[in-house]
Each structure stands twice: as C-alpha cells, then as structure tokens.
Amino acid sequence: MPHPGQNPGTSASFDSKKLTLQSTVQLPNSQVTIPRLGFGVYLSHGDTCLSSCSTALLAGYRHIDTAQYYANEAQVGRAVLETGIPRSEIFITSKMFGPKMSTTDPQTSDEHELYLEIIESLKKLAVGEKGYADLFLIHSPHCGPQGMKTLWKALERAHKEGRAKAIGVSNFGVGHIEELKEYAEVWPPHVNQIELHPWCQQRKTVEYCQQHGIVVEAYCPLVRNEKANDETLLKIAKKYGKTTGQVLIRYSLQKGWVPLPKSDTPSRIEANADVYGFDLEQVDMEALDKLDQGDKGAIVEAVKN
C-alpha cells in the first residue's frame, strides 16, 4: 500500500511516523545516505549565511544545500569548521551550471575545465583544504545536450576520485534523465532536485524518479511564504497546532521527498526542524494534494518532460 499522499506505483514507501531529524535515505546504487531534511541557503550571503548555517547545524540539521551560483560555498564551509561538528557527520551538496557559452564558440569549456571548477568549489567548502562534496549536481539542463554530457563527465571524474561522493541533477525532466543513459557511467543519477510543494507537485517527474530509485529533493518547499494565508493550509496548521511552514515541510517528508527549507531567521530555522512530533492524517495529505496547479503552480521552474 502506498503511503497516504503518495501516488500508486512509486517506491517511496516508508513509515513516516518513525521519521526523526536523524533519518536518512540511501542513494541508488550507492552506500551513501542522505539526511531526509536539508537546509537551503539560496540568497543568503556573507555573515548572514555563516550565522544561519551555524544556527541550523546547532539545531540539529546535518544537510546543507548550496551552489556555485549562490556564491556562499565558502560561508557554508566556514560554518562547518566553526561549529566544530565533524565534517563526516554533515552532508553538503553543491551544484554548477553547464559550460560557459559564447556566441562564437558555444562550447568554450571542456571536461577538464569543468572538473577544475568543481575542485574550486570543494576548496571553498573545505576552507582551503582538499575537501569533498557529499553530493554535486548539474544545476540545470539549460546548457543543452552537449553541455550536459561534458558536465556529467566532469562530475563522474570527481565521483571516481571520491571528491564527489554522489552526483545528480536539478531541474531535470524525464527526457533529460533518459538522455543521460546514452553516455553515463553513473546512471541513474543519485538525486533530482526540483521545485516541489502542494501547488507544484510535478507528479510525472516524481513518479519516474521514484520508480528508478532516484532520490527526489524538494526546493522551495515553503513556497517562499507566498501561500501562508491559504485557507486549506491554515486550517491544517490550526488542527495540529503547527506553523504553516511546519505543515509544508511535514507534507514533503511524508511524500518521500527530501525538503530543503530556507530561512535566515533563527527561530524559523529551529521551528522548521521541529517537524517530528506529529503525522499528517491521510485526509490532510489528500487536501494538500488537491492544491496542485501543475506547471502554473511553480514559482521558480517546472521541469520540461
């Protein structure tokens, strides 16, 4: 039987009542496990990012999601160092876009150049040391088929060397993931990170990923607070005595997704990790499922299938 709120035929079956802040899920064809709750740092910069990451780690998060584009990998690395928590106990993800494009030479970056860019990220995350990432993703498929291939090969090299313990993709639709099959030595990708929340459930992509064992990460699980006054959400939050944010994160967890909530407010960072003392009933999961607006519900990007 699928868990309440899950589509029939998916592989994300587990007892959500047993979830804790320490819960992990194993990545496909890998010994690597990823914490089921992550901490996002998009648009968090400088000392603010450093402080937020430190708050999150001290509150019990063990999973931080950054990217080259976010320009805060160094702050994430510093936070890990300054909290004194062993690096081996923290799961860090970064991402990179594809080869740099130009009008005269559309493929100006080769595999080795992209590999070196990955290494630069790892140095920032390790505060100048050799370093590694637990997960490194292609940030977007918009670099085109050849760009994706070049970048994937660079990621595979980092993976072979143990510099990226796992590799995956972000904002990829079914067609993009299938395309990787043509040349990938590592397939399926370990993770696909996409926008996910009740108003944008991307069901075709999620079902495909779960059928192939690909872990689905949910960015924007809080919808950037744009739905805080939604009648259905408020009603459910009141029923459980929780914040709307806690309900949305719990919804993601019970769907089998790995949510990546983001906040720079210490009290909210802590509250967003306090989502394990209750379980949404099937009727409430179904009510949230019915809010789906398809591609129109996306506030950042719905993938192209």
**Run of H or E including 163:** none
Half-sphere exposure of 142 (CA within 13 A, CB side): 10
User: How far is residue 90's CA from residue 161's CA, in Å, rounded to a whole number?
Assistant: 20
Catalytic positions = 70, 139
Beta-bridge mates of residue 168: 137
Reported in sequence order, the residue ranges of 115-254 that DSSP labels E, i.e. its strands, are: 135-138, 167-170, 191-195, 215-219
- Which of 193, 192, 129 lies closest to 163 in space, CA to CA? 129
Encoded amino acid at 42, one letter: Y
Strand, coil or helix: 153:
helix
The pair of three-digit structure tokens given for residue 226, joined into one six-digit string: 């744009």
DSSP 216-241: EEEESTTGGGTTTT-HHHHHHHHHHT
